[in-house]
């Protein structure tokens, strides 16, 4: 029965020490097939601001070996110039499937999803979903470089597209636990790793078609999940919270 490990953080809010980054890297390296993922709101800056001198936490996350993170509202911005500045220190993909370019192209780090082949042949897809900060029909959409589609609508369409290509489909979500519970009703999604609501949902619980996990906020914990897949379906998800220094 194929299995692999995911290490998950969320809502760090600039709270990640060098010691915590080293610990996350050690956990990732201890399981050669592991993915290290984050559900957004890692940086110091707020929605409409940027931090002079960049975002050191993104450099620490890069050193820790993160595979991807969802774009939180803190990482977002309605203009290309500031969005590029906010994400410049990330050497890993920033996932925002429902972010749509309107006047300017998306920065190079921004992707809708990633695909990974785990040793042993397990195919894993990871989608990033964010809050609908500027809706396409809103007044602000007249002047912004980007708009945000409904995350549930985006997830439904992208899961239909990706499902034939993967054995396991993961959503890195920064939309809060209430919308995550609706997201779990969408066919094809196996695991939701959430953020934004600052809640702790651990160990993962079964909701609708998916397992759902939240690890709290402020860099207090990371979640370590061991997932077993059999016959193209998730057979079990076991998890533990890892205290971060």
Average pLDDT over residues 186-211: 96
Q: Domain-by-domain residue ranges, the chain? A: 3-224
Secondary structure class of 211 (helix, strand, coil): strand
pLDDT at res. 31: 87
8 A C-beta contact, residue 80 and residue 107: yes
pLDDT grade for 199, boundaries at 50, 70 and 90: very high
Residue 116 host element (H or E): strand 113-118
Q: What are the pLDDT digits (tens) for 125-178?
A: 999 999 999 999 998 889 999 999 999 999 999 999 999 999 999 999 999 999
pLDDT at res. 1: 60
Average pLDDT over residues 165-193: 97
pLDDT at res. 11: 98
Q: What are the pLDDT digits (tens) for 63-117?
A: 999 999 999 999 999 999 999 999 999 999 999 999 999 999 999 999 999 999 9
CA distance 114 to 212: 19
Domain range 3-224, its CATH number among 3.40.120.10, 1.10.10.10, 3.60.21.10, 3.40.50.300: 3.60.21.10
Q: What are the pLDDT digits (tens) for 226-244?
A: 999 887 788 889 999 999 9
pTM: predicted TM-score of the whole model, two decimal places: 0.96
Q: Sort 231 into a burial class: Cβ within 10 Å, 0-12 / 13-18 / 19+.
A: exposed
pLDDT at res. 110: 98
């Amino acid at each position: 029965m194929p299995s692999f490990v995911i290490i998950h953080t969320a809502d760090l809010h600039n709270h990640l020490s060098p010691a915590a980054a080293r610990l996350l890297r050690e956990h990732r390296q201890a399981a050669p097939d592991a993915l290290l993922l984050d559900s957004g709101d890692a940086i110091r800056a707020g929605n409409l601001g940027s931090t002079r001198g960049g975002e050191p936490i993104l450099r620490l996350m890069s050193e820790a070996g993160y595979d991807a993170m969802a774009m939180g509202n803190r990482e977002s911005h309605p203009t290309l110039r500031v969005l590029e500045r906010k994400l410049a220190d990330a050497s890993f993909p920033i996932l925002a499937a429902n972010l749509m370019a309107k006047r300017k192209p998306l920065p190079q780090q921004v992707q809708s999803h990633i695909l990974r082949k785990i040793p042993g042949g397990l195919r894993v897809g990871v989608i990033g979903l964010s809050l609908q900060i500027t809706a396409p029909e809103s007044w602000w959409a007249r002047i912004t470089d980007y708009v945000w589609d409904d995350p549930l609508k985006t997830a439904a369409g992208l899961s239909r597209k990706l499902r034939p290509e993967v054995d396991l489909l993961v959503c890195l979500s920064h939309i809060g636990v209430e919308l995550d519970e609706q997201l779990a009703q969408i066919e094809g999604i196996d695991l939701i790793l959430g953020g934004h609501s600052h809640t702790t949902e651990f160990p993962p619980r079964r909701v609708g078609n998916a397992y759902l996990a939240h690890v709290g906020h402020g860099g207090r914990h990371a979640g370590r999940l061991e997932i077993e897949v059999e016959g193209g379906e998730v057979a079990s998800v076991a998890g533990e919270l890892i205290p971060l220094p």
